[in-house]
A and B are shown apart, each in its own frame.
Chain A
């Protein structure tokens, strides 16, 4: 059931849906010429419009000729049956591309269909294929044709399905908390437009998130044309203002840089978490991971250096990671620039001279085959230096290319939001239309956005949820989810996609297109019309054909941004000068986002949350319950302290601390995370929402309350006070120390090449003959899985993909604290080495499907049994719930329904979320990873129909399908040529705890790192540190 198979091929365009234009002159001429009793069915026929004739040619019902009674009855029967079908589902009325080989399969209700669409986060699109079961979207997959997906998905894409069916989504259009019809809003919109027109829109402001949608941008441009004095403000709390300013400094104009890591041997990240969450991160992971394998099949192993403050996934995957305070970042980069001859200044000793020296030498040795990334959080000067470094290394044109900005209108968002805040305070804004986003929550604290917002006379907010901003706006319009509305969007490299809905809005939601159209005085235009109108004429060739192709492929051909030949000028002197001497006048582009020198106290660093991003996903229970990739915390954020800092301040896990910054204070729970620079406190954005529904409200601390416009990403002068209280945190992994066990087997590349069999060195797998029980016969498929720990970056996408595919319930913070989370697939995270700068190891753990499974032996009722194909099957019906199997599972991959967790699938909308191919489990029943047995059987049925064996790669479990790193490979071990069999023969292949004699079918490929020989970093999987292990009150 590979993804692309279930999509239909592009078929030639059908009849043009446009109404044929009537030529009344020709009509009257014809009528005059007509003699006798001419019959005509419509004016069009009479006019002999070519469109009409064409339409007739396509239709089956051409009058009664050649149409006998039997055929008529047959057709009537079919029509009635199909008419009945349409009542079953909420199909959008617009034409989305249907399945080609449709009929009997749809009637049988068996085969789901896939539709291409795209999801945007911060304006940039990721292409998706969404599975639809009889008209309801049930699963999100990546679109292999889309450059930001390559068939993979990130966790936001996977979790977007939950948001679609979230029972807490806003359902009604409201005016001052009263339900109003859309027409009432249209009245207000007309009234507002009339009123604003008088002043040419001087009081009209439109606040959006970053927009890349060409249609929306053209609508906005049209609106601004009609209201020349109006303003369009974009605000993205985790925005790229610094990057934009840095690009301007380096290139003299806004430009985006797109990387192709396939050719990068050495990668340097300066605070850039390019492997998670960012635009193009899936592509980055795909290319990065492809060269993390020591087999050299796709080139020699790359090497990743990361200089960062907070611990990110990118840092966790680094070969060399340097943890530095945010305030020290720029000087290190200057040192590096000096060492590479980019700047004359810098290059001095510094605390990290050895690191910087080795890094510079390595980069120099790989000039043109390296890439330097700078994180959006870094000041603009660092971005400019990064560009200069890349230019000096000759990376532009090789691993990197510059393109025109993808977003529709790159601006200094902070500056325009500042202006808006000023205008609101001064009463210059009479109508504020907020399309998406939640500025009351996300605007810098010093803007007092909420208070100023109420000074605006007419406030309109479009959003998916009733949030903090909705509460302060008179009009709240429920937004259509992206799976419910037409739109378009561009990917990080400029590729445009049509956002195709799969279902008509569940709650009469509206898209931003429709709201803007209403303001523009064209309320009748639907999103479909607007998007089509925009693209008509912009697609080469026949529009209908191209439109269909664009819908089918999920990308619009030929929209990739071309390279922009931008010469990187030498950075302006202000960048080259050291921060101490350069001017620090506010608003100066070169000092954008530069942390003020630490006067005293600690430094506070903000970062986007790996799960909730900037807070927009706070209502998403899947993401809330997903463990943070490194701290393993769920449902809350925490103020993160390094071990040393916590020791110095006397802070333990779960202590409530009061963070004081200038005059503002915030109470947050503390957590200890090895690997942070001492003196730095990290706080993730996106938590502490007040109005994010029942599930999302009140989790964690709201970092925005401390975030000022002059210190968006880091602030110094933080004071930390212990309050003496504690706050319970729910962590899914209390021990991140391997205890000296051979769990993740790791080596450096050099050692590995000297000793390829290192993974088996300490292993003592018992003799197969030791088992009392006979072997299972193996004359059919033997399913197995191999997980490459070198490639896995720990991004968590597989966990959400599994949750979505297998109807895994969310259990809530209290149950997680009691150790009852239900994720079938978990990603274990371990530390190794020095607590000050540990190595990170990730290990996805699904069911091992042991050939000699301890769980099967002890189940008294035979509810978990071995299948002929080697699967360890769980028979839910038969399970009585002794939990003996879970006790006896050495991998603890079994999950138990301690309560009736699946009641959450009873809410009417949530019922639609469930995958119909997977049983929803009852209370008291054990469950676990099945290798997506529904997909296995689906593929087997297909293959049996075609009288052949299942082909390698035909079955992709949800985790493997989502994996951007291609770290998970599933297949038939009996087929010696299958990919998984080949991986079995890889010397790195080992079975977890295979010394127990369980003979797992899921095996791992040892983790190989590639450190610089000049900076020796011995592999350490031990973690001689006990502070972390101290028990919290958690079970």
Chain B
């Protein structure tokens, strides 16, 4: 299978008054057509930055992509003229965001907002765009789409709004859907519905999905491959089964242990000791070293390269390949 998306050495910096913050450093990964990849990590790990940087959506006033290439369908998105880039956004890459409350324009009906990109990208007439909008709402399982279409975002529940966002993102049949924490702002029951909707639509339309989340249950649910991020760097990558069954990086192990607290037993929630290092004061070696139980001298001195432990499974840890203590 051919690569749909190839990200190479992507680095993003946010200039601040206290100096530049490296939000994302030397980030590389690949996605094949129709594949679901999850970017996992805690807040500030660079996962959302990565998602936005892919289609150059980081506002120029706040951040800068300083290096890297994003090859998507044979073109480097970071070097594409703005006009061509706009064609790619929406038409080839759809995005859904964390808070569906905020991601819809409050002054327009959802039908208008759905029809807008259709008219723009496909030149559909008002009538045809409206029909298609009704059809799309039906596709994302919104009951009575003919009535819903004339309602405003505030008339809809959170789950409904997220469905509308998904419909908008998929309206132009993109080959890649970037979902930035699509279920974080929703109720648990609604989360499951939205996830299964994404899964169904992905299978139906053959869209590749890049899922950004900190919810490991979500990852387990729909991702084929997992990329674990920590403090702006990729620390582990592998198939969902590999990463869940046999995590290589100590951070991934801790993360899984923290997520699986149900089996903990003693009634205390397991946690990872310490906090994410301040972006102004990154440790020189492995970024996880200060919190890592098995850190050695070399961990604090040198940034460990990504090492493969099995085909398609790699982690940025010096311990990979050596016996785990």
Does B associate with A? no
